[in-house]
Structure 1
Amino acid sequence: MTRLGTEAQHILDTVQDAVPTLRRNGADTEKQRWLLDENIQLLEKAGVFRMVVPERFGGLDLPVADQAKILAAISQGCGSTGWVCMVWVSSAWIVSLFPDRAQEEVFAGGSVRVSGGFTPSGTLTPVEGGYRLSGSWRFNTGVPGAQWNIHAAMVEHADGRHEELFALVPAEDITVADDWDVFGAAGTGSATSTVKDVFVPAHRVVDTSVYDASTGDRWNADAKGRNYNMLSYVLATCAPVYLGIARSALDLFTERVAGKPITYTNWADQREHPYTQVTVGRAANQIAACEALSQDWLRVLQERADRGEKMTVEEKATVRGQVGYVVEATKAAVEMLYDISSASTIVRSNPFQRAFRDIAALSLHALLTPVSSLEAHGRVLLDLEPGTDYI
């Protein structure tokens, strides 16, 4: 594993020191269905929201492996906070694929929070100088605290052709519903956002060429090092959230089990039971294996970007399949530990039950659900087409 740079190490150290605070704030974050201000301010001060902003705008422009390590650490403290930070960071990186004028507007402050609704449930109507945007986007993580939002929408051209585009809109043009009430990842504020007949200038709209970072009219179009394949990059920044939650669950279990008897048995200390030992060993190794596996796709993403090359279909399918496996395996590891926990684990003041619910909820994300991801990977391994454009 490569050593983190000085700035990345400082952020990581600050975040790791904040894990107890993030964990302590978990219950209140869940109750209000949104991150506590203390969490956002703490991470802002640490520099988390500068991670992907280009250096020319005062950002840190960290490589994806450094981003992943920091996102995993945040998620060890709070799964909801980790998921929101992942969305804000990865969506801000997507802004680096927009034209220069859009980048200058969004990155002006050097630190920025960007959310995104990537299901094309809106419409764009061409007008002079740009488009009029209308639509609603469900499950829009982080939108209550974002400064900008990327909206996927469909446009019908004069020749009858339909095309998916991505429109960048400031927060003041967005209405956020109070409709986020769920059993897991409850603090992510993934509410429905709505835009009604808002003008979006042409420089804030890009097409699906962003998937392979090939958009032009931008200063960094040919820059080496950060032009990752978009979907592979997003998947690579999602995975650390699952890894962080699973690592947290393991730590929480081992901290709590010491000296705890197994009720209605003669076992005075659960640690002495062989089944507990085997289960903890299995869960720990499963999490560690997933962490090791993640280093492979982070390396491939970075090597391709450093050489200014596009990833192959096989490489992209591998990233999706392996991330799907990580989702499946980390969830299973947390479930193993939950299954040998005492009944008091279900008390809401116990952060383990929140990790259990968070990873269960997040495993249902359509882009990350193991079945679809492994199917795409397996198809390519069998010399078939992926069966999806989302690799």
Structure 2
Amino acid sequence: MTNTFTDVASVVDAVKDIVPKLRENGREAEELRWLPEENIALLEKAGVFRIATPKRYGGLDLPIEDQVRVLTEVARGCGSTGWVAMVWSSSTWLATLFPDRAQEEIFASDSVRISGGFTPSGTLTPVEGGYILDGSWRFNSGCRGADWNIATSTVHHPDGTPEELVAIVPMSEFTIADDWHTSAAAATGSSTSTAKGVFVPAHRVITFVDAILGSAPDRTPTPGRGYGLFSFVLASAVATYVGIAKGALELFLERVKGRAIAYTNHTDQSQHPLTQIQVATAANKITAAEAMQDRWLRLLQERADSDEPMTDAEKAAMRGQAAFAIQLAKEAVEVLYTASGATVIQRSVPLQRFHRDIQGLAQHGLLLLSTNLEVHGRVLLGLDPDSPFL
């Protein structure tokens, strides 16, 4: 498909136009346990897969705030589609942390889809010119439709010292297991990917430390895009949860008017004070989550524009606030689901899928409320954050 969208406003408008179709395809996506090809084609045409590609490679190179706007709209239509789009776009930004030679290969197309994660469940064995990659990576969201895959692995140096490295490899070099059978985020296709004896040239491997600091050699930094690895990933991820909550609110409002409340004399649920309180509560939780989000998005961009890294205290605070924003979005959906009556459990009612998706995605280890509040709380108490994931 030819992509004619060249700025954030046009991409956001294009995504808004396809939200009804993404929502309509939700049940099919869940049954497929992967995104329908129509969803991927619509996102491609809207320019979603170009939002993080550097301009020097023909991409839109949108700042983080604008990327979040786009990803929120996608998740408003379908939680699983939003999650996969977020993984692909955040991993595309991560690819800019590799040496220029690798980037030239990765961005041979300006619309690229990259999956991957940070669990070092593979090994890299040094050989002439690079490494041999072996291992399996579970919960590899989006791997079924990705062009490239990021595989965090461990290398053991001659003295026995282990070191975590990050490799980026064509997805065609992996096999994908049919093992994604879940009650939530079912359409993300987050299957296990496996590499056996795959050669990875040295320029496609960087240290985990270089990934965190953006300090890989032979790399041309993109001005205004030095967000810091985990801060960027967290900021991108929250967009999915906020988008799901916004979509759930819309779905609730569409079906509530004129619905009777069973075993009562109330013939229009929207006229009941409790329902009015519930809707306002959910809406305000979403607004509060967005307000927190706006604060750290501004801080991220200010630091990137001034080429000044965030402090560990700021990163820890962002972790806590991001997880809290996710909690608020989850609570908003819970309120709406609880207010929807028994008919909401029908698979034909999209709201139940939005509820299950946000419940499941909120279990993600990097985004878990308790873990992130612990890191944030330690810093507030004057302690070391005691986490490398900053």
Please, what TM-score do these two structures have when normalized by structure 2? 0.97
Contact 1:117 1:152 in 2 (8 A): yes
Question: Where do 1:1-391 residues align within 5 Å?
Answer: 7-208=7-208, 209-220=210-221, 223-391=222-390
User: Alpha-carbon deviations, 1:199-224, whole Å to 9, x = none?
Assistant: 0000000112211222231122xx42
C-alpha distance in structure 1 between counterparts of 2:297 and 2:6, whole Å: 19
Runs of 5+ consecutive residues of structure 2 not aligned to the other structure: none
Name the stretch that deviates more: 234-243 or 155-164: 155-164
Contact 1:224 1:307 in 2 (8 A): no
Contact 1:117 1:138 in 2 (8 A): no
User: Alpha-carbon deviations, 1:167-220, whole Å to 9, x = none?
Assistant: 111011010000001001000000000000100000000112211222231122
Amino acid in the other structure paired with 1:245: I
Contact 2:34 2:188 in 1 (8 A): yes
**What secondary structure is seen at the aligned counterpart in 1 of 2:367?**
coil
Contact 2:76 2:246 in 1 (8 A): yes
| Sequence identity percentage | 56
Amino acid in the other structure paired with 1:118: F
Return structure 1 stretches of 4+ with deviation > 2 angstroms. Answer: none
Runs of 5+ consecutive residues of structure 1 not aligned to the other structure: none
Number of equivalenced pairs: 385
C-alpha distance in structure 2 between counterparts of 1:332 and 1:55, whole Å: 38
C-alpha distance in structure 2 between counterparts of 1:188 and 1:152, whole Å: 20
Contact 1:212 1:228 in 2 (8 A): no
**Alpha-carbon RMSD:** 1.0
User: Alpha-carbon deviations, 1:199-253, whole Å to 9, x = none?
Assistant: 0000000112211222231122xx4201111100000000000000001111111
Contact 1:23 1:351 in 2 (8 A): yes
Please, what TM-score do these two structures have when normalized by structure 1? 0.97
C-alpha distance in structure 2 between counterparts of 1:242 and 1:172, whole Å: 30
**What secondary structure is seen at the aligned counterpart in 1 of 2:187?**
helix
C-alpha distance in structure 1 between counterparts of 2:217 and 2:72, whole Å: 32
1:6 Cα shift? 6.3
C-alpha distance in structure 2 between counterparts of 1:214 and 1:381, whole Å: 29
C-alpha distance in structure 2 between counterparts of 1:207 and 1:298, whole Å: 27
**What secondary structure is seen at the aligned counterpart in 1 of 2:71?**
helix
C-alpha distance in structure 2 between counterparts of 1:175 and 1:117, whole Å: 16
C-alpha distance in structure 1 between counterparts of 2:117 and 2:320, whole Å: 23
Amino acid in the other structure paired with 1:316: K
